């Protein structure tokens, strides 16, 4: 039972890293309306469809290290959102090889805080800041 | 001033369809922490970065018809989430040509309900339901 959205968020990434299906599904609300979008995947709706997807992901056997960074928090009394960038490092790699943009929604249910939405998509690189050009000649005359 | 998250959501898609920048930015919370991810785009954080992105999108001049469908709602007193599938029809087309999965977050601010997160990503097709197989012979014997 998670007392806060942050506890649920920690449990989510912990279960994800450990590829532990029962721990993962203990984070999700047992509802027909939960929504999960894996990177470049379809939109899955409902506890069972979401459970099936994690089962398939974990069956792959790959272990990942995932750091949720650059968090933005939107906190209500019964609904909370965490928008993060997931830095994903596969086993055997030293540094993150993929950056995933994720929006996670939690709701306070009778069984504590639970995840109701996980929307993840591959992150495009931010446009580079335009190279600063030298000031036009007029500005340097004096 | 939007009295509900639904009013803000309607205004968002209305401004989007009309390519009206000031109407669009009237929907967003004026905060350094708002998050916007356009399909296959980078993660933009902060009102100004978000404003700049819509300005560029609207400068393209394309008008789109957008229907937000298959909504799932997560409502709190001060934070609300709408997870939708956007069916996007460009001008001149009869039917939607792209399906976008979007998670929209709204917060109740001093200036009414405002958008704080728009996370949109291209939707993959759902896996086809497995073709139903005829029942095994045992079930048809009688």
Mean pLDDT of chain A: 89
Q: Which pLDDT band, with edges at 50, 70 and 90, does A126 fall under?
A: low
> Rounded to the nearest 5°, which phi and psi values hold at B36?
-135, 125
**pLDDT score for B74:** 98
Residue from A80, A91, A25, A94 nearest B78 by CA: A80
* A112, A88 Cβ separation under 8 angstroms: no
In this predicted structure, what is the pLDDT of residue A130?
44
Q: Do A117 and B127 touch (CB under 8 A)?
A: no
Determine contact, residues A88/A98, Cβ cutoff 8 Å: yes
Q: CA B25, CA B41: separation in Å to the nearest integer?
A: 19
Torsion over CA: A112, A116, A122, A127 (sign): negative
Q: Report yes or no: B57 at the A interface, CB cutoff 8 Å.
A: no
pLDDT at A125: 64
Phi, psi of A78 (to 5 degrees): -130, -5
CA torsion sign, B75 to B79 to B84 to B86? positive
Q: In angstroms, rounded to a whole number, what is the distance separating the alpha carbons of residues B24 and B20?
A: 6
Which of B83, B115, B125 would you mutate first to test chain A, the one with the most A CBs within 10 A? Answer: B83
pLDDT tier for residue A129 given thresholds of 50, 70 and 90: very low
Beta bridge partners of residue A68, listed in sequence order = A86
Quote the tokens at residue B130: 């497995």
**Partners of A108 in the β-ladder:** A113
Percent of chain A with pLDDT over 90: 77
Are residues B122 and B102 in contact, defined by beta-carbon separation less than 8 angstroms? no
How would you classify residue A94: left for phi > 0, otherwise alpha for psi between -120 and 50, otherwise beta? alpha
Say what the pLDDT of residue A95 is: 87
Q: What is the mean pLDDT of residues A17-25?
A: 97
Would the CB atoms of B35 and A103 count as touching at under 8 Å? Answer: yes
Residue B66, strand partner residues: B88
Q: Facing residues of A88 across strands? A: A66, A98
Nearest CB to A119: which of B43, B78, B101?
Answer: B101
Residue A43 tokens read as 């939109």
% of chain A beyond a pLDDT of 70: 87
pLDDT band at A107 (very low <50, low <70, confident <90, very high): very high
Q: Which residue has the higher pLDDT, B126 or A86?
A: A86
Max Cα distance, chain A (Å): 73
The pair of structure tokens assigned to A118 is: 């996980």
Least confidently predicted of A95-109, A126-140, B15-29, B82-96: A126-140
Per-residue pLDDT tens for B70-97?
A: 999 999 999 999 999 999 998 888 888 8
Secondary structure of residue A25 in the 3-state scheme: helix
Q: Is 50 exceeded by the pLDDT of residue A137?
A: no
Please determine, for residue A135, whether its predicted confidence score (pLDDT) is greater than 60. Answer: no
Contact A42 B121 (CB under 8 A): no
Q: Which residues of chain B have pLDDT under 50?
A: 128-142
Q: What is the pLDDT of residue A80?
A: 98
Q: Does A32 touch chain B (CB under 8 A)?
A: no
Instruction: Tell me the pTM.
Output: 0.87
Question: Which pLDDT belongs to residue B130?
Answer: 44
pLDDT of residue B63: 85
């Amino acid at each position: 039972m998670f007392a806060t959205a942050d506890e649920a968020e920690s449990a989510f990434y912990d279960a994800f890293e450990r590829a532990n299906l029962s721990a993962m599904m203990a984070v999700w609300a047992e509802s027909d309306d939960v929504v999960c979008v894996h990177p470049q995947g379809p939109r899955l709706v409902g506890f069972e469809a979401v459970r099936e997807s994690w089962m398939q992901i974990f069956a792959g056997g790959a272990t990942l290290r995932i750091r949720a960074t650059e968090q933005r928090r939107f906190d209500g009394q019964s609904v909370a959102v965490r928008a993060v960038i997931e830095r994903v490092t596969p086993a055997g790699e030293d540094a993150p090889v993929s950056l995933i943009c994720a929006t996670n929604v939690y709701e306070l249910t009778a069984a504590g805080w639970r995840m109701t939405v996980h929307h993840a998509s591959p992150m495009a690189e931010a446009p580079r800041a335009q190279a600063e050009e030298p000031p036009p000649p007029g500005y340097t005359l004096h």
